[in-house]
Structure formats: C-alpha cells, structure tokens
Structure 1
Amino acid sequence: MSIRQFLLRFHHDDQGAALVEIAIVTPLVLLLAAGVFEFSNIFNTRLLLEAGVEDASRYMARCSSDWDTCSALATNLAVNGAVQGGSERVAGWTTGQVTITPVLSTPAIDTATGTQLYLSSTGNVVVVQVKTSYPYPTLGLWSYLGFGDVKLTVFHQERVLGW
C-alpha cells in the first residue's frame, strides 16, 4: 500500500476531530481564564486600596486633634480598617506606603473653567490628600508571558472640616 492510499483512507474520516479541536483550544481557554482571574484580583486589590485611602481622607477631614495624632490614626485606618488595631485590608500593604498631605490653599472655583469645586464663602479651602502606591506582588501566569510589574497608585482628596 502506498502512502497516497494510506492518506486517502483518512480523507473522509471524522473520528477524533473533536479531540484534536479540544487539544488546540484548551490552552487558549486556560490562558484566558487565568487572565480573567488575575485581572479580577488586581481590580479587587485596587478597590480595597481605594476604600482605605478614602476612609483615611474622610477621617483626616474631620479629625479635631493635632496633625501628627490624626495622621497616625488615619494611616492605620487606611491600612488596617480601624483607627487602632484592625486587620490588614491588603496583604503586604504597610502604613509606610500611605502619604497624607494638607493642601492649605485650594481654590474653591476652578479658574480655567469656572466650575465650583467646593461650596465655600471664601475663595480658598483647606484640603487633605491621602495617597498610596502599592506594588502588586505577582502576576501569576502572566509574568511568564513577559508582563512587567504592576504598581497600583490611588489618591483621594477631601475638604477639611475639622482642625
């Protein structure tokens, strides 16, 4: 039997075609699923960081003690979800990665557009800004595909009502 006759035998044979198709498609589907899971985890981490930064800025905006006391408590609130104690919101996120700065003279009205940013009887308001930058620890399977490190940066500003 020649090679031509041998190959012609398989010309109309469909047995095993589904197995071959699955063998081709499975790695792509698994890669896509890994990407979806990793993206979801990154997105969840960013939302937790954002919630912590917003909580800290709201606390700072209403704190009536001195700056150092308020900022220490607000930093712990951002990272641990409680003013004192608490448990970490995000694994590996430390209080040293949170920066709290006052912006003492923020215009209440944007001069370029005329948009009212803050309701105020004065032209300027005091705003506190809380910012963090968190290096995402690992990309899992995506790191093998050449994706570099991911750094999540979040900030929030809040008008100060206390002090």
Structure 2
Amino acid sequence: MLTALKQIIRRFKRDDQGTALVEMAITTPFVLLLSAGVFEFSNILNTRMLLDAGVKDAARYMARCSSDWATCSGLAKNLAVSGTITGGSARVTGWTVNQVSITKSLSTPAIDAATGTELYLSPTTNVDVVQVSTSYPYTGVGLWSYLGFGQITLTVFHQERVFGW
C-alpha cells in the first residue's frame, strides 16, 4: 500500500502539465477581488467629484445671484443636483435638492485663524460668505458593504464670497 502511494507521488512530481491551471485557480480569486476593489474605489471617487462639482456650481451661482435669497437658493440647489437651473436629471443617482444645504454667514474677520491668511481681500473686516454643503449616502456597487465596512457618507462643502444681492 505504501509503495503504491509513493509511486503515485513520484508520478505527480514528474508531471507538470496542470501547474498553470493550479496557479490560476489560486490567483484568480485575489485578482478578481483586487479588480472589484479598484472599480469600487474609482466609483466612489467619481461620485465624490460629481458632488464637488455640483456644490461648487451652486456656491458660485449664489455668490453672484442678484435676486432674493429664497429664489436664488432654490435655483442653486437645482443647479447643484442637476447641473441646470431648472429641470434636468441628477448628476448622481439618488441625489436630491433636499440633501443640499445653503447658508449665508458674515466672516468676521476674514482671516483664517489657523494660518493667519486673509481669506477674502476686502477693505472692510466683514465679508458675506455663502456656503453650500451636502451629505450623500453612497450605496455603490456593494463590495464595500460586502466586506463589512458599513455605509459611506460622502460630505462635500464649498464657500464663496458674496458679490450679488
């Protein structure tokens, strides 16, 4: 019995016809997992960039709008979400105008406390600033949640000095 087993093992040692198949069987799951991870990460990054572009567009629009606050903010929220003032489809699936927040504040003084840099050049110390922000729960492809990391919330904000009103 033992000699027969030794003969079978010797025969497998000399035979290398199936080595490529075994190597592929071992490496394929890792390559697929890596590829899915790269795809998921690029999808997260693309979603983040679309949200950032929308928030910046809305902030620039609000900073230069010459109508009343309610009208401008409604149009700016739609601009952030769809890329147009009225109508249009969402830049990111599931992103709605209710997830966009627009606030106006008075920057006093217009100097970054951490660095001492003047944020907005102005002859006065008070500068009106509009900030547009959003939080978007990323659902994505599902690999992230499959690995057990939970849901990701992408948060984006942008502020601009007000030139209108």
| TM score, norm. by length of structure 1 | 0.94
Q: Secondary structure at the match of 1:2?
A: helix
Deviation at 1:107, TM superposition (A): 2.0
1:25 to 10, 23, 27: 27
Question: Could you say which residue in structure 1 is the equivalent of 2:127?
Answer: 125
Judge which range, 131-140 or 47-56, deviates more.
131-140
Question: Could you say which residue in structure 2 is the equivalent of 1:109?
Answer: 111
Residues 2 and 149 (structure 1), Cα distance of their counterparts in 2 relative to 1, 3 Å cut: same
Contact 2:40 2:140 in 1 (8 A): no
Structure 1 segments of 4 or more deviating over 6 A?
none
Contact 1:74 1:83 in 2 (8 A): yes
2:52 to 50, 53, 65: 50
2:85 to 78, 83, 86: 83
CA–CA distance in 2 between the matches of 1:83 and 1:90?
16
Equivalenced residue count is: 163
1:93 to 67, 92, 95: 95
The runs of 5 or more residues in structure 1 that have no matched partner are none
Kindly provide the CA deviation profile for residues 101-151 of structure 1, in whole angstroms up to 9, marking residues without a partner as x.
011234222345331211110112110000000001234233222121011
Question: Could you say which residue in structure 2 is the equivalent of 1:140?
Answer: 142
Judge which range, 120-129 or 2-11, deviates more.
2-11
CA–CA distance in 2 between the matches of 1:79 and 1:113?
33
Partner letter of residue 2 of structure 1?
A
CA–CA distance in 1 between the matches of 2:42 and 2:122?
40
Deviation at 1:24, TM superposition (A): 0.5
Partner letter of residue 123 of structure 1?
T
Question: Could you say which residue in structure 1 is the equivalent of 2:13?
Answer: 11
CA–CA distance in 2 between the matches of 1:89 and 1:112?
34
Contact 2:44 2:140 in 1 (8 A): no
1:68 to 67, 70, 92: 70
> Could you say what the CA RMSD is over the residues aligned between the two structures, in angstroms?
1.3
